[in-house]
C-alpha cells in the first residue's frame, strides 16, 4: 500500500482527486497480490483503471488546452501511449498469472503514476495558476506588508539596494526645492482655519467605517449570524474608535468655527446616542434589513453633510474647491454603497414586485449623475481624469450591464455575488481616490503653514521629513530583501524536518533569489520523488519477504532443505537461481554468486570424526544465514561446498560480503565437548554476464574456477573470477 502525500497536490482539486482515485485502484491490485487474490479481480481492476485514467487524461487535456500549455501535443501522445499499454498489462497477467508478474505490473503502474504527477503535472502548476484553475490561499495583510510585497515584486535584490540610496537623495533635493520657493503670504489666515479643516480625514474615516458596519449588519441579519458575528464586533470597535477620535478632534476646534456645522454636530450626537440601542436590536435580530440600511444611511448622510458645509466656508479657493470635490465624491461613494445593497436584495429575492426597493435603486442612478456634475464643477483636470478612469474602467462597464439587467427585471441573467463583488471593487477604488483627495487637502493646508514658517523651521521640518522617509524606505527595502531570504530559510528548515508540502515561487524573474527558489523547488520535488520511491521499495520488500516466507514453507514441506545445515539443497538452488538469472538479464540487474569451500575439511573429519565435521558444517551454515540478507539464497551443493546467490549485487559488493564472511569464519570457534576447533573458508566470486550466462551452471563454473584459484593462493581468501 502506497499512501498519498499532500506534497503531490497540484492545486487543481479535480485533477488531485483523479490522482488519488487512480492510486487507490493500484493499491487495490497490490492488496490482491499480497493476499493471492489477484486472479479474481484482474478484470474489474483494469476496467476501473482504464476508465478513470481516461477520464483523468481527458480532463487534464481540456485544462491544458484552456491554459494554452505549450507542450500539449507531447502530453497527449504520452497519455495515448499509456492507455494502449493497459490491455497489454492485463493480457500479460491473464496469460501468465504468478506473483512475480503481478508485482511487476503493480510496480510499473505505481512508478508511472508518480512520474506522471512529479515530472508532468507539478511543473504545470504555474500554468494552472495563471489561468485561475489553481488558487493559493492568501491571508489578509497589513498595508505595510503589502507595500513590502509589492516592492519585492517590482525590484530585484540589487536594484533595491541601489534605490535605497537614490530615493532618499532624490527626495532631499525635491523637498529642498519646495522649501526654498514656497510663499509665506497666507500664513496667518490658514493657521486660523487649519484645525477646522483637519477634521475632514476623521469624517472620511468615520463615514467609511460606518458604511462597512452597515454592510456587515445587513449580512448578519440576512444570513448565518455566526458567519459575520466576529467581524461585525471588530468593526464596531473600529467605529467606536473613529467616533472617539472625531470627538477629540472637534474639541481642538475653536467654538466660533463650530457654529457653521453646529446643526450637524447636534444631530451627530443624537445619532451616536441611538447607535448602541440599535446595535442591540440587530444582535437580537428584531430589525429588518431595510431598517438597518435606512438607519445607517441617515447617520452617514449627516456626517457627510459636515464636509459639504465646510466646502462653502471662507477658505482658500483651491482648498474650498478640493473640499467640494471630496464632498461630492463621498456622497457618490455612499450612493454606490446603497445601490450595492438594494441591488443585491433585488437580485437574491427576484423582487420584481418590490416597488419601494426598485424605485430607490433607480433614484440612486439619478442622484449619482448630479453628484458627478457637482464634482466636475469643482475638481481639477487631473482629478476629473482620475475619476473618469475609475468610472470608465472595465469593472464599471460590467456593473453598468448588470444594472441594466436589474432595471429591466432580467434577474435570471445576473448573479448577486458578482454584482456585490464588482460594486465592492468599484467602491474600494473610490475609497482610494477619496484618501488621495483627503491627503491633497491636508497637503494644501500643511503646505500653506510650512510655507509661512521661517527658514530655520523649514530646514528643521525638512530634516525631520527626510529622516522619517529615509527610515521608512530603508525599512521597506530591508524587509523586502529579508522577506525572500527568511522564506527560503524557513522552507529549508521545513525540508530538513522531513516536510515536503511547502512550495516556494519567487516573485522576481531572473535575479539571484529566483535561482535559489528554483533550486529549492527542484530539491523538494526530487526529495518528494525519493519519498514515493522509498514507499514503493518498502512495499516491494514487504511483498518479497512474504513471498520468500511462503516459498520457504513450501521448500520445507517438499524436502528442498538440506537437513543437516538448514539451507537449500542443490536442486532447489538451481531452480531459484535460473529464475533470478532470467529476471536479472531481462531488466539489466546485477547478480552475483559465491562458491564457498571449507578449507581442510577432510582433515577435520579424519582427525576428529564425522560428528565434529557435521558440527562445523552447521556452524558454517548458521553463520551464512545470519549474515545474508532476506533476498539472498544459500545452498549446500556438496559435502563441504556451499553457494550463495546475491541479487542486486555487483562484483565489488559481492567481494565485500565475501571478505566479511571469510573474516567472520576465521575469527570464530566451534566448541565441541572439550575441543575448540578453528577453521577457514575459501571463496570464489562470479558476476552475471547476461550475454554468456544463460543458466546457473554457467556462472557457478566461473565461481568454481575462482574458488580453485583461491585454494591455490593459499586458502582462506576470496577471489573474483576474471
Residue 621: the pLDDT is 93
Position 374 scores a pLDDT of 81
Instruction: Compute the mean pLDDT over every residue in the chain, rounded to the nearest whole number.
Output: 79
Residue-by-residue DSSP string for 368-387: HHHHHHHHHHHS-HHHHHHH
Q: For position 191, what pLDDT does the model report? A: 60
State the first-to-last Cα distance of the chain, in angstroms, to the nearest integer: 43
| pLDDT, average across residues 119-139 | 68
Q: Say if residue 600's pLDDT is above 70.
A: yes
Average pLDDT, integer, range 529-548: 70
Which residues, other chains included, contact 25 with Cβ-Cβ below 8 Å and sequence gap of 6+? 45, 48, 49, 52
Predicted pLDDT at 186? 56
- pLDDT tens-digit readout, 3-30: 787 777 877 888 888 888 888 888 887 7
Q: By CB neighbour count within 10 A (0-12 exposed, 13-18 middle, 19+ buried), where does 383 fall?
A: buried
CA angle centred on 551, ends 548 and 557, rounded to 5°: 145
Q: Looking at residue 453, what is its pLDDT?
A: 67
Question: Helix and strand tally (H, E) in the chain?
Answer: 25, 8
Q: How far is CA 602 from CA 51, 141, 624, in A?
A: 67, 86, 21
The pLDDT tens digits of the residues spanning 656-678 come to 999 999 999 999 988 877 788 89
Residue 522 cell numbers, joined? 527542484
Closest CA to 209 of 101, 300, 74: 300
Answer yes or no: is pLDDT of 185 > 60: no
Among residues of the chain, what percentage have pLDDT more than 90? 14
CA-CA distances (angstroms) from residue 68 to 80, 124, 127, 135?
20, 11, 8, 18
pLDDT of residue 620: 93
Cell representation of residue 508: 522576481
Q: pLDDT grade, residue 172 (50/70/90)?
A: low
Residue matched to cell numbers 510585497? 149
Q: Which fold has domain 559-720?
A: Alpha-Beta Plaits (3.30.70)
Q: What is the mean pLDDT of residues 564-570?
A: 90
What pLDDT shows up at residue 490? 78
Mind spelling out the 3-state secondary structure of 507-530? CCCCCHHHHHHHHHHHHHHHHHHH
Which of the four pLDDT bands, split at 50, 70 and 90, describes residue 137?
very low
Residue 672, pLDDT score:
78
Confidence check: pLDDT of 417 > 90: no
φ and ψ at residue 636, rounded to 5 degrees: -100, 115
**Range with the lowest mean pLDDT among 408-422, 447-461, 517-531?**
447-461
Of the pLDDT bands very low, low, confident and very high (cuts 50, 70, 90), residue 431 is confident
Report yes or no on whether pTM surpasses 0.95.
Answer: no
Asked if residue 677 lies in contact with residue 608, where contact means CB atoms within 8 angstroms, the answer is yes
Q: Angle at CA 462, nearest 5°, toward 460 and 466?
A: 120
Mean per-residue pLDDT, 667-692: 88
Q: What is the DSSP letter of 52?
A: H
pLDDT band at 594 (very low <50, low <70, confident <90, very high): very high
The string over 53-76, giving b where at least 16 C-beta atoms fall within 10 Å of a residue's C-beta and e elsewhere, is beebbeebeebbeebebeeeeebe
Q: Using pLDDT thresholds of 50, 70 and 90, give the confidence band for residue 255.
A: low
In angstroms, the CA 717 to CA 681 distance is 7
pLDDT per position as a tens digit, 639-652: 899 999 999 999 99
Please identify which residue in the block is written with the cell numbers 531459484: 576
CB atoms within 10 A of CB 210: 24
* pLDDT tens per residue, range 603-625: 888 888 888 888 999 999 999 99
Q: What is the mean pLDDT of residues 90-108?
A: 73
Q: What are the angstrom distances between the C-alpha of 60 and each of 65, 265, 369, 593?
A: 9, 63, 49, 48
Q: pLDDT-derived band of residue 138, with 50, 70 and 90 as boundaries?
A: very low
Predicted pLDDT at 216:
81
**Average pLDDT in the 679-684 region?**
94
E-strand stretches of 455-564? none
Cell 538479464 belongs to which residue? 585
State percent of the chain over pLDDT 70. Answer: 81
**Res 721: pLDDT:** 92
For residue 653, pLDDT over 90 is answered with yes
pLDDT band at 683 (very low <50, low <70, confident <90, very high): very high
pLDDT over 90 at 501, yes or no: no
The segment with the largest mean pLDDT, out of 101-105, 323-327, 543-547, 592-596, is 592-596
How sure is the predictor about 591, in pLDDT bands with cuts at 50, 70 and 90?
very high
Cα–Cα distance, 570 to 642 (Å, whole number): 9
Q: How far is CA 315 from the centre of its chain?
A: 55
pLDDT of residue 487: 76
Residue 439 reports pLDDT greater than 70: yes
> Is-contact 577 686, C-beta < 8 A?
no
Tell me, which fold does domain 6-136 have in CATH?
1.20.120
For residue 556, is pLDDT > 70?
no
pLDDT digits (tens, 9 = 90+) for 311-327: 666 566 777 788 888 88
For the chain, give every domain's residue range.
Answer: 6-136, 138-194+457-497, 195-445, 559-720
How far apart CA 204 and CA 370 sit, in angstroms, is 21
Amino acid at each position: 500500500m502506497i499512501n498519498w502525500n499532500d506534497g503531490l497536490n497540484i492545486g487543481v482539486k479535480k485533477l488531485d482527486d483523479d490522482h488519488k482515485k487512480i492510486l487507490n485502484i493500484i493499491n487495490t491490485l497490490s492488496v490482491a497480490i499480497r493476499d493471492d487474490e489477484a486472479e479474481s479481480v484482474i478484470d474489474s481492476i483494469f476496467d476501473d483503471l482504464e476508465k478513470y485514467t481516461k477520464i483523468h487524461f481527458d480532463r487534464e487535456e481540456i485544462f491544458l488546452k484552456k491554459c494554452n500549455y505549450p507542450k500539449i501535443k507531447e502530453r497527449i501522445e504520452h497519455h495515448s501511449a499509456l492507455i494502449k499499454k493497459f490491455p497489454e498489462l492485463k493480457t500479460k497477467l491473464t496469460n501468465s498469472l504468478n506473483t512475480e508478474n503481478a508485482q511487476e505490473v503493480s510496480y510499473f503502474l505505481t512508478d508511472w503514476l508518480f512520474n506522471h504527477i512529479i515530472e508532468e503535472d507539478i511543473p504545470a502548476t504555474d500554468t494552472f495558476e495563471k489561468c485561475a484553475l489553481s488558487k493559493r490561499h492568501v491571508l489578509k495583510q497589513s498595508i505595510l506588508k503589502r507595500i513590502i510585497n509589492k516592492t519585492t515584486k517590482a525590484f530585484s535584490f540589487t536594484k533595491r539596494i541601489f534605490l535605497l540610496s537614490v530615493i532618499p537623495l532624490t527626495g532631499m533635493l525635491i523637498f529642498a526645492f519646495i522649501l526654498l520657493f514656497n510663499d509665506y503670504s497666507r500664513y496667518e489666515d490658514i493657521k486660523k482655519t487649519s484645525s477646522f479643516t483637519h477634521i475632514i480625514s476623521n469624517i472620511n474615516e468615520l463615514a467609511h467605517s460606518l458604511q462597512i458596519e452597515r454592510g456587515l449588519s445587513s449580512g448578519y441579519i440576512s444570513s448565518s449570524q455566526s458567519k459575520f458575528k466576529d467581524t461585525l464586533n471588530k468593526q464596531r470597535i473600529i467605529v467606536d474608535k473613529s467616533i472617539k477620535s472625531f470627538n477629540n478632534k472637534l474639541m481642538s476646534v475653536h467654538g466660533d468655527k463650530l457654529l457653521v456645522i453646529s446643526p450637524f454636530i447636534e444631530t451627530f450626537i443624537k445619532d451616536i446616542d441611538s447607535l448602541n440601542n440599535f446595535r442591540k436590536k440587530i444582535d437580537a435580530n428584531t430589525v429588518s434589513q431595510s431598517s438597518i440600511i435606512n438607519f445607517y444611511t441617515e447617520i452617514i448622510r449627516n456626517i457627510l453633510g459636515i464636509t459639504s458645509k465646510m466646502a462653502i466656508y471662507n477658505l482658500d479657493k483651491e482648498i474650498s474647491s478640493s473640499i467640494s470635490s471630496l464632498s461630492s465624491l463621498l456622497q457618490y461613494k455612499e450612493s454606490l454603497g446603497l445601490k450595492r445593497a438594494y441591488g443585491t436584495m433585488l437580485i437574491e429575492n427576484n423582487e420584481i414586485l418590490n416597488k419601494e426597493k426598485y424605485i430607490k435603486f433607480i433614484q440612486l442612478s439619478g442622484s449619482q449623475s448630479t453628484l458627478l456634475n457637482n464634482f466636475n464643477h469643482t475638481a481639477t483636470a487631473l482629478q476629473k481624469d482620475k475619476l473618469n478612469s475609475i468610472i470608465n474602467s472595465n469593472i464599471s462597464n460590467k456593473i453598468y450591464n448588470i444594472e441594466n439587467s436589474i432595471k429591466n427585471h432580467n434577474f435570471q441573467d445576473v448573479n448577486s455575488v458578482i454584482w456585490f463583488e464588482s460594486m465592492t471593487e468599484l467602491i474600494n477604488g473610490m475609497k482610494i481616490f477619496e484618501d488621495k483627495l483627503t491627503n491633497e487637502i491636508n497637503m494644501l493646508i500643511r503646505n500653506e503653514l510650512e510655507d509661512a514658517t521661517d527658514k530655520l523651521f523649514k530646514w528643521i521640518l525638512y530634516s525631520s521629513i527626510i529622516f522619517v522617509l529615509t527610515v521608512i524606505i530603508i525599512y521597506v527595502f530591508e524587509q523586502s530583501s529579508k522577506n525572500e531570504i527568511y522564506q527560503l530559510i524557513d522552507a529549508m528548515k521545513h525540508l530538513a524536518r522531513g516536510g515536503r508540502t511547502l512550495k516556494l515561487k519567487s516573485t522576481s524573474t531572473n535575479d539571484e533569489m529566483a535561482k535559489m527558489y528554483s533550486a529549492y523547488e527542484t530539491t523538494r520535488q526530487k526529495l518528494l520523488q525519493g519519498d514515493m520511491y522509498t514507499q514503493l521499495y518498502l512495499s516491494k520488500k514487504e511483498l518479497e519477504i512474504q513471498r520468500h516466507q511462503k516459498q520457504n514453507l513450501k521448500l520445507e514441506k517438499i524436502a528442498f532443505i538440506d537437513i543437516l545445515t538448514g539451507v537449500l539443497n542443490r536442486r532447489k538452488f538451481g531452480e531459484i537461481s535460473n529464475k533470478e538469472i532470467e529476471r536479472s538479464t531481462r531488466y539489466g540487474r546485477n547478480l552475483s554468486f559465491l562458491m564457498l569451500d571449507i578449507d581442510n575439511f577432510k582433515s577435520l573429519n579424519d582427525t576428529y570424526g564425522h560428528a565434529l565435521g557435521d558440527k562445523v558444517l552447521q556452524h558454517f551454515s548458521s553463520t551464512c544465514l545470519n549474515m545474508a540478507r532476506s533476498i539472498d539464497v544459500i545452498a549446500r551443493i556438496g559435502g563441504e561446498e556451499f553457494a550463495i546467490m546475491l541479487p542486486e549485487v555487483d562484483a565489488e559488493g559481492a567481494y565485500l560480503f565475501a571478505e566479511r564472511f571469510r573474516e567472520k569464519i576465521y575469527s570464530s570457534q566451534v566448541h565441541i565437548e572439550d575441543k575448540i576447533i578453528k577453521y577457514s573458508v575459501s571463496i570464489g566470486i562470479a558476476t552475471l554476464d547476461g550475454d554468456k550466462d544463460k543458466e546457473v551452471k554457467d556462472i557457478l563454473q566461473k565461481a568454481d574456477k575462482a574458488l580453485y584459484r583461491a585454494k591455490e593462493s593459499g586458502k582462506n581468501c576470496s577471489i573474483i573470477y576474471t
